[in-house]
Chain A
Amino acid sequence: MTPSQQVAEGVSPVRRFRAGGTGGFGSNILPLAAITVAVAAFLAVTQPNFATSSNLGSILFGVSIDFLAIIGFTYVMVTREIDLSVGSVFALTGMLTGSLLVADWSFWPAALVALAVAALIGFVNGFLVVRFNINSLMLTIGTMLLVRGLANVLANNLGGQTYPRAFRQFARTDLFDIRITIIIMLVAILGAWVFQRQSALFRKMCFIGENVRSALVHGIRVGRIKILAFMASSVTAGVAGIFTASRITHADTQMGMGLEFVMVTAAIIGGASLYGGRGDLRGSALGLLLLALVLNGMIMYDIEPVFQQFVIGALLIATVTFDTVLNRRAK
């Protein structure tokens, strides 16, 4: 028997097993997609205002921007860490870009400087976590406050000033009549599919998240990869922040408030775990979409918009409870 024949034989029975298992790449994508479609269908049937192209378009646009921020965040969770500073970094990067533009910089230098600042914050987060063996939940609450303060300094300096006209249009850039962020999202999801399926880096991240001691023994550079993940988290949050700043046209101290908890919730819904070793960008995107649909539906049903905070808090606890109980059962 040739090796390739054996390979072919070995694969089939196991595939079946894994489809129902907890592991694997995106094993809960299909049920999640089904739920999302069901919620959308329910809203479409019961609320005439839901299935309009403008409503769907704005939901998708909003999700696509948040999605940019969840890219790095998801992969930080895969390594069994967490980055709660994303919301603040998101705000700071957006406002810094805006401030530089108001000070007559041109767009690319401004955006690159802002993203470099974001990368630096990510590096500091990762470095401190790795070197001092600190609980990232704790540390990133600190950086969240610190960076939020800096963002508010920028917001205050700008006052109510709107950003330059060209920048305000930036987020509304269309490609083939579709918002560019939506296209980026679709491309990124395709990229994530390849990344999660094929890349050595993603596998190493999973190894680290699942069993850091074995990963160390297997010569995987744990510290380096964790720092990289934190930097990716900050930079992708920054990119999303730049689009958001452009979208809301002026510095708003509320920008990105609570984003981190939307992200934790969406990522866990999408297949990530506080206990590491798992995470799927496609799932995270669906998680964000599902949350957006739920919040949109609440508005449709005239439920107080301020109640959203309550729902996000409740969903956060519910998903983490689910995650904890599942993880315990697996042990």
Chain B
Amino acid sequence: MADTIRKISFIRSTRLEQESLTFGVVVLLAVVLSFVSPAFLDPNNLASLQTALAPNLIVAIGMMTLFMIGRFDLSVGAVMGISGIASAMALNAGLPVPVAFLAGIATGVFIGAFNGFMVARLGINHLIVTLGVLYMTRGVIEVAMSGEKLAGFTSFPPSFSLIGQLQFAGVSALFLFALLLCVVFESFLRLTLPGRKLLFLGGNPQAAEATGIRRRWTEFWCFVLSGGLAALAGVLMTARVGMANRYMGEGLEMQIFIACLIGGGSIAGGKGSYVGALAGVLFVTLLTNAFNLLSVPSEWQAVVIGAVLVLVVVVDGVMVLRKSGRPWNGIFGLFPNRISA
């Protein structure tokens, strides 16, 4: 048996097949957009793209971590909102900027810990828990903002606003920070044992536990991470746009959810990467940007997002059926129970 070992390609060995595909689609989308809409390459539009990308990417990093272990968190949008408000309220109360910043983060970490406790400790369905928390948090936001005007808190000390306004060579510092975070997490995933353990755990929970990986512990801290990152995005976003109101992060959970699925995550867990999260976020953000540039009404955007989600879930289901060895006729055939002679 002296035949040579068949070497495999870089993309395959790094399991970036779907990520590359998504990046390709993103590039295609960008090229098409620049032709269809001249406003796309306008500096203002590019700047607003960066502003939209940064928080989405930060939240998606947390979500993708959960996807890897086969979980997800639908409370991220609301957490983002309430953390911004928490920081703003702290600033309003005259607390120094670092303390206000931490207050926002702590709020998210606390909510993440609650999610983690319910899911990892009590074993409650993560979709129900995080949806319930989404509702509860939105309720708290309404209560907190009930005396405020629609724009919410708008006056912040300059040092706080500076966090959001900082630029390097014309590129938003927030965006650079989000990219840096993405790189750090990608290295964590690829180069460290705890990072790999996420994928082991998601890929085969029983086998992973048998090799000594702590399932509940990991699950708990992943939810804390997700809450903390959503809070970070919320506080940074508040600093960037200079206001904290009840609308921040509304509906964001679904966009991020779809971004993670498109970027290579799977509801079943065991796959995904932070580069993929970036690709997915780019796709979703560009799509939203395209809607705005082409003045597609927001309700049609929801239709498209919903349709994309249905499509992704169906494709996921078909793949699972194929893997279990079901013939194509049994999946798509008009008479799935008939067999060929």
Contacts and interface: CB of A to CB of B under 8 A. Distances in A.
The residue in B131, B254, B336 that gathers the most chain A C-beta atoms within 10 A of its C-beta is B131
Contact of B302 (A139, A146, A328): A146
A292 to B, nearest CB: 17
A263 B299 CA distance: 24
Given A145-B305, A311-B139, A325-B122, A316 B131 contact: yes
Contacts of A308: 139
B124 A317 contact: yes
A146 B313 contact: no
Interface in B121-167: 122-125, 127-129, 131-140, 142-143, 146
B136 A128 contact: no
A149 B303 contact: yes
Interface string B293-337: 000011111111111011001101110110000000001000010
Given A133-B320, A149-B302, A128 B314 contact: yes
B267 interface: yes
A25 interface: no
A137 interface: yes
A309 B135 contact: yes
B136 A309 contact: yes
A274 B125 contact: yes
Interface in A136-158: 137-139, 141-150, 152-153, 155-156
A324 B124 contact: yes
A132 B128 contact: no
A1 interface: no
A142 B309 contact: yes
Contacts of A145: 254, 302-303, 305-306, 309
B118 interface: yes
Contacts of A143: 306, 310
Contacts of B299: 149-150, 152-153, 155-156
A285 to B, nearest CB: 22
A24 B118 CA distance: 29
A36 B15 CA distance: 56
A304 B125 contact: no
A142 B306 contact: yes
A313 B321 contact: no
A327 to B, nearest CB: 10
Interface residues of B, number: 45
Interface residues of A, number: 44
A324 B143 CA distance: 30
Nearest to A312: B135
A276 to B, nearest CB: 13
A316 B135 contact: yes
A56 B131 CA distance: 31
Contact of B134 (A128, A133, A139, A313): A313
A40 interface: no
A301 interface: no
A135 B143 CA distance: 34
B142 A146 contact: no
B133 A313 contact: yes
B272 to A, nearest CB: 16
A13 to B, nearest CB: 36
Nearest to B114: A317
A148 B313 CA distance: 18
B135 A149 contact: no
Interface string A146-177: 11111011011000000000000000000000
A321 interface: yes
Contacts of A128: 310, 314, 317
Given A131-B331, A309-B138, A310-B140, A149 B301 contact: yes
Given A314-B136, A320-B132, A304 B317 contact: no
A134 B318 CA distance: 9
B310 A321 contact: no
A236 B299 CA distance: 24
Contacts of B320: 133
A138 B297 CA distance: 25
B146 A317 contact: no
A307 interface: yes
A31 B292 CA distance: 54
A193 interface: no
A-B pairs with the 10 shortest C-beta distances?
Answer: A310-B139, A146-B306, A313-B135, A145-B306, A149-B302, A149-B303, A309-B139, A306-B142, A152-B299, A142-B309
Interface of A: 128, 131-135, 137-139, 141-150, 152-153, 155-156, 258, 261, 264, 274, 304, 306-314, 316-317, 320-321, 324-325, 328
20 contacts: A131-B331, A132-B314, A132-B318, A134-B314, A142-B309, A143-B306, A146-B306, A146-B307, A153-B303, A264-B128, A308-B139, A309-B139, A310-B143, A313-B134, A314-B132, A320-B125, A320-B128, A320-B129, A321-B122, A321-B124
Interface of B: 118, 122-125, 127-129, 131-140, 142-143, 146, 254, 267, 297-307, 309-310, 313-314, 316-318, 320-321, 331, 336
Given A135-B267, A146-B302, A274-B128, 7 more contacts: A132-B317, A132-B318, A134-B316, A153-B300, A156-B297, A314-B136, A320-B125
